[in-house]
Amino acid sequence: MAAPAPRARPGCPGTLPPHGPGVPPVCLAAAPRPSRCGLWASVLASVCPSVAPKPPLLPSLAELRYGSTVMRLDFVWLRDHCRSASCYNAKTKQRSLDTASVDLGIQPQAVRVDETTLFLTWPDGHVTRYGLEWLARNSYEGQKQQVMHPRILWNAEIYQQAQVPSIDCRSFLETDEGLKEFLQNFLLYGIAFVENVTPTKEDTEILAKRISIIRETIYGRMWYFTSDFSRGDTAYTKLALDRHTDTTYFQEPCGIQVFHCLKHEGTGGRTLLVDGFHAAERVLRQAPEHFELLAKVPLKHEYVENMGGCHNHMIGVGPVLNVYPWNNELYLIRYNNYDRAVFNTVPHDVVRRWYRAHRALTAELRRPDNELWVKLKPGKVLFVDNWRVLHGREAFTGYRQLCGCYLTRDDVLNTARLLGLQA
């Protein structure tokens, strides 16, 4: 996944003199025109010789350096990203240009660059100006250097040392500052607490609605459970549950899980939390081939329930580790050994390698120093990023009542962005 090394292009036609500090030339690069393999022709050439590109005919991109970023900007991409009033609505950030009407062989008639801006004049006379800073941030090369979601990966010690405060319920409900602080903690660590909440299902629902839309599932909207075996799942028992993420058997696992323990008269029942991304990053550092396999091999998870009036059959497909391909950044871990279905998505020679990789990840997830144990108490509500942090529980005795819900992830992130956070 390494970036093509920026190469100097001596004598490149159309090269302009350097502009300002750190803004050397733009040039029309003599790269192959789109072929059957499109933009990937030159990449594919090394693996599929039958589609090796013909020698370059006409330049199809501009090469631009801004600061330390060398960008290769395809002309169709540049035309498509014209931010002029006739092509783009800056208010709604919606495109008005019809991309399908852009000639795929388009080239600018004139190119000019000053210290801050690139100007292109297209064959029909339309002029597009691009802020160089905007290009550096929005180009592929720029994106590769950024993370989408800033996070602090943790083990038990890192989390405890950080002394992340719980947010008071009133401040969470009544002030933007309280809500923002809560969301910032949640985005950075994948878990966050609200305290001094009235221990009822109704009050828990009010908290949930403050940051998102409740995701109704087969378990209901607000769920509420004791160890009464009312459903097919082991959650409805007193047994210990090993670390896992929930709803792995949905095509899109639930984004956030809210837990509120309303009552517990008995022993045990502590909650286990493990940062799945921290564990996965350690696998990446120790054995990148394991990480890659876990990110590539799709798996099925399944939930079959036939109990009382509940009849459900859910299947979700996806790899254990989900990463953005351009920067390898993790965004979702799907890990539930209880609900993992028959493994039949890869041939036998990959199967053993996958088990080794899965074992390496499991070993990391099970390291005692990665385990954060908390006892949920009435009044303290826990929000867990179910795309990142695994949860489990210790076996317990006595009467224990838990309520909570799932939240739609897009809407949590929406709230965070509206408060000015990067999410």
Ligand X SMILES: C[N+](C)(C)CCCC[C@H](N)C(=O)O
Residues near Fe ion, by CB under 5 A: 246
Residue 238 touches ligand X, criterion: CB under 6 A: no
Binding segment toward ligand X, per CB under 6 A, in 14-22, 43-51, 89-97, 331-339: 331-339
Give the nearest distance from C-beta 246 to ligand X in angstroms: 4
User: Which residues on adjacent β-strands are paired with residue 392?
Assistant: 272
Annotate the chain with three-state secondary structure: CCCCCCCCCCCCCCCCCCCCCCCCCEEEECCCCCECCECCHHHHCCCCHHHCCCCCCCCCEEEEEECCEEEEEEHHHHHHCCCCCCCEECCCCEECCCHHHCCCCCCCCEEEECCCEEEEECCCCCEEEEEHHHHHHHCHHHHHCCCCCCCCCCCHHHHHHHCCCCEEHHHHHHCHHHHHHHHHHHHHHCEEEEECCCCCHHHHHHHHHHHCCEECECCECEEEECCCCCCCCHHHCCCCEEEECCCCCCCCCCCEEEEEEEEEECCECCEEEEEHHHHHHHHHHHCHHHHHHHHHCCEEEEEEEEECCEEEEEEEEECCEEEECCCCEEEEECCCCCCECCCCCCCHHHHHHHHHHHHHHHHHHCCHHHCEEECCCCCCEEEEECCCEEEEECCECCEEEEEEEEECHHHHHHHHHHCCCCC
Could you say whether residue 141 binds ligand X (CB under 6 A)? no
Minimum distance of ligand X from residue 295's CB (angstroms): 21
Q: Does 52 bind ligand X (CB under 6 A)?
A: no
204 lies in the binding site for ligand X (CB under 6 A) = no
Q: Which of 78, 69, 191, 94 is nearest to 126 (CA)?
A: 78
How many CA atoms does the CB half-sphere of 76 hold within 13 Å? 13
Residue 275 binds which of ligand X, Fe ion, ligand AKG, none (CB < 5-8 A, kind-dependent): none
In sequence order, the 6+-apart residues with CB closer than 8 A to the CB of 322 are 295, 330, 331, 332, 333, 334
Q: Show the binding pattern over residues 161-200: x = contacts ligand X (CB under 6 A), - = does not.
A: ----------------------------------------
Q: Which does 393 bind (CB under 5 to 8 A by kind): ligand X, ligand AKG, Fe ion, none?
A: ligand AKG
Instruction: State the residue number with the nearest CB to ligand AKG.
Output: 393
Please say which residue, 272 or 279, places its beta carbon nearer to ligand AKG.
Answer: 272
Residue 339 in contact with ligand X, rule: CB under 6 A: yes
Rounded distance, CA 106 to CA 71, Å?
19
Measured from the CB atom, is 77 or 225 closer to ligand X?
A: 225
Q: State the minimum distance, in angstroms, from the CB of residue 393 to Fe ion.
A: 8
Give the nearest distance from C-beta 5 to ligand X in angstroms: 45
Binding site for ligand AKG (CB under 6 A): 235, 241, 246, 271, 391, 393, 402
What is the smallest separation between the CB atom of 249 and ligand X, expressed in angstroms?
A: 7
334 contributes a contact to ligand X by CB under 6 A: no
Q: Which is nearer to Fe ion, 65 or 391 (CB)?
A: 391
Supply the minimum distance, in Å, between the C-beta of residue 395 and ligand X: 16
Out of ligand X, Fe ion, ligand AKG, none, which partner does residue 233 contact, by CB within 5 to 8 A per kind? Answer: ligand X
CB closer to ligand AKG, 60 vs 271: 271
Residue in 154, 189, 223, 383 binding ligand X, rule: CB under 6 A = 223
Give the count of beta carbons closer than 10 Å to the beta carbon of residue 100.
6
The least distance separating ligand X from the CB of residue 335, rounded to whole angstroms, comes to 10
Residue 205 binds ligand X, judged by CB under 6 A: no
Residue 215 lies near ligand X (rule: CB under 6 A): no
Smallest gap from Cβ 361 to ligand X, in A, equals 17
List the single partner that 130 binds among Fe ion, ligand X, ligand AKG, none, CB under 5 to 8 Å by kind.
none
Q: Is 336 in the site for ligand X (CB under 6 A)?
A: yes
State the nearest-atom distance from the C-beta of 332 to ligand X, in Å: 14
Contact residues: ligand X, CB under 6 A:
219, 223, 225, 233, 235, 244, 246-247, 336, 338-339
